[in-house]
A and B are shown apart, each in its own frame.
Chain A
Amino acid sequence: MNLKNLLSLSLVFLLFAFITEAQTKKQRAAAGYVISNYEVECMGTGMDGTQLIKVWGFGRNPDDAIYMAKKNAVHAVIFKGILGGKPGCMTRPLVNQPDAEEKHREYFNSFFSNGGRYLQFVSQTGDGKVDRIKVSNKDYKVGIIVAVMHTQLRTELETAGILKELSRGF
Chain B
Amino acid sequence: MKKIYFCIALTFGVFYLSAQDITNSAKKVKNQVISSEYNRNALTIIGLKSESPLADQLAKMIDTLKISDKFYTNDIGFRNIPYNTVINLFDKAQQDRVFKTDVLKLLNEKKVGQGIMTRWFNRQPDGTFNTSVLKERGIYNSDDSDLSIATASKRGESSLMDAGLGLVDHSYILVLGFSDLMTMDQYYTKTEAKPETRTMNGVKGNMIGLLYKLNFNDSVSAVFYQDMWVNKATADSKAKIAKFDATTFPLVPVKNVIMPVQATQYNAGQSLAPKVQKTQNQLLQDMVNSSMTNVMNQLTYQISEFKVKAQIYKTNPIAVKIGKKEGLGFDQRYFVFENRQTPGGQQYSSRRGVIKSMSVADNRSVATGETEPSYFYQVAGGKIDNLGMFVEQRNDVGLNLFLGYQQDAMSGFDARIEYYMGRLMYGKHKGIAKGLTSLKFYVDGGYNLGNFNNLDGKLPTTSEDIDLIRVSAGINKDYYLTHFLHFGPFVGFGIESATGKTSKYKAETYFIEGGARLGINLSYNIQLIGSATYYVMMAPQLKDADGTAVKDPGSYSDLFPDRAGLGISYGIRFMF
Contact = CB atoms under 8 A, between A and B. Distances in A.
A128 B389 CA distance: 12
Interface stretch (A6-14, A44-52, A112-120): A44-52
Interface stretch (A71-79, A99-107, A130-138, A156-164): A130-138
Contacts of B347: 133
B304 interface: no
A130 B338 contact: no
A23 B343 CA distance: 8
A47 B338 contact: no
B215 interface: no
A141 B350 CA distance: 15
Contacts of B369: 127
Interface string B306-342: 0000010100000001000000000000000011110
A55 interface: no
B338 A43 contact: no
A46 B154 contact: yes
A125 to B, nearest CB: 4
A141 to B, nearest CB: 8
Contacts, number: 81
B442 to A, nearest CB: 40
A4 B573 CA distance: 48
Given A127-B144, A132-B338, A132-B339, A52 B149 contact: yes
Contacts of B313: 127-128
A153 interface: no
Contacts of A31: 341
B148 A44 contact: no
A129 B143 CA distance: 11
DSSP class of B's interface residues: helix, strand, loop or mixed? mixed
A52 B340 contact: no
A62 B389 CA distance: 10
Contacts of A126: 145, 148-149
Contacts of B151: 47, 125
B521 interface: no
B108 interface: no
A85 interface: no
Nearest to B310: A129
Nearest to B154: A45
A62 B340 CA distance: 13
* Top-10 shortest CB links A-B: A132-B388, A62-B387, A130-B388, A129-B145, A127-B145, A127-B144, A45-B154, A125-B152, A134-B340, A127-B148
30 contacts: A43-B153, A44-B154, A44-B155, A45-B153, A45-B154, A45-B155, A46-B153, A47-B152, A47-B154, A52-B152, A52-B153, A62-B387, A62-B388, A66-B387, A125-B151, A125-B152, A126-B148, A126-B149, A127-B144, A127-B145, A127-B369, A128-B311, A128-B313, A131-B339, A132-B339, A132-B387, A132-B389, A133-B339, A133-B340, A135-B340
